[in-house]
Amino acid sequence: MTSSMVRDEAPGQQMTPGGPGGPGGAPAGIDPPSGHVRARAGAPPGSATGRAGAAHATIGPEVAHRARVYDYWLGGRDNFAADRLAGDQAAAAFPGLVESVRSTRAFLSRAVRFLAAEAGITQFLDVGAGLPTAGSTHEAAQSVAPEAMVVYLDSDPVVFAHGRALLASGPHGNTSYLRADLRDPETIVTEAARMLDLTQPVAMVLMSVLQFIPDTANPYQLVATIMDAMPPGSYLVASHPGSDLGATPESSLAGGHTLVDTAVTVRSHAEVSRFFTGLRLLPPGLVRLPAWRPASPAMAETPSALWGGVGAK
């Protein structure tokens, strides 16, 4: 296992807690362009310097935050009573929600482990990552390839500060947490090139984030711009609420992004397939998440209203 490392990056533009992407703002990975904040490897939670400390101060136990609610649904420990209450209320309003959230994380874990073990991928770019809780990309990848480098990108200042603190507090191999906006793909490519070797294959992970980009923002071109910058042999791992699977904007908003007042676009199988244009979908193709290489027939029947797939460049 490689030593724990959270990269110490030069600060860019300052973060503004409570601004766009903050509490009540846009979801993870979608925010006006902004930069990084320094964090010290091995530092205790909340010890990030500069504006990260201010953002971290907004993570209080009194008000639920979507990332901690998601952590609660996944059985994590980085949540408070307010988060658990909000999570229970959302689960009561949308039956099958928690099972769907867990099946999404299970799909992520299966896909990442497959890429690390069978495709030899050791570089991962996870956009709109949320908190690095149990079963996250770095955990799945480094369980197979301890040398794997995982770069998380998230635009929510609360999630960003908390995520950096969590990664700095334990052994997480080669892992970085940066702040970036999915709607600024050129910056994502630039920052990815600083952390990853873009002459070697990279797997980009877009888990349940594309629904927050409306058609007017041309989400297909945003994804294509990033994938075009990746070398041959790279992969795209993506999931998306399916309008033809019974997903609705309301249930999709609750599904891991509760408490966020943001428009959601659910898309059909054909529409989600367009994100993989120019890529070769690996078997079994674009399918309901639990049906992607399930460990058992019972797993394949897990409730989920999301399409998911893995495409090779």
The per-residue pLDDT for range 27-74, each reduced to its tens digit, is 434 433 222 222 222 222 222 222 333 333 345 678 887 778 878 888
DSSP lists the bridge partners of residue 151 as 125, 176
Domain count, the chain: 1
Q: Average per-residue pLDDT in the chain?
A: 76
Of residues 106, 28, 34, 36, the one with CA closest to residue 67? 28
> Domain range holding 194?
5-312
The DSSP letter of residue 267 is B
DSSP E strand stretches across 130-232: 149-153, 174-178, 203-207
Residue 4 has pLDDT above 50, yes or no: no
Dist CA 155 CA 135 (whole Å): 21
pTM: 0.76
Task: Check which CATH number belongs to the domain holding 194 and give it.
Answer: 3.40.50.150
Amino acid at 10: A
Q: What is the pLDDT at residue 161?
A: 67
The per-residue pLDDT for range 91-143, each reduced to its tens digit, is 888 877 888 888 889 999 999 999 999 999 999 999 987 666 667 899 899 99
Contacts (Cβ under 8 Å, ≥6 apart) of 93: 254
The per-residue pLDDT for range 247-265, each reduced to its tens digit, is 876 655 544 444 445 678 9
**Helix %, strand %, coil % of the chain (to 5):** 40, 15, 45
Residue whose structure tokens are 């959230």: 101
C-alpha to C-alpha distances, 210 to 8, 29, 219, nearest whole angstrom:
29, 9, 7
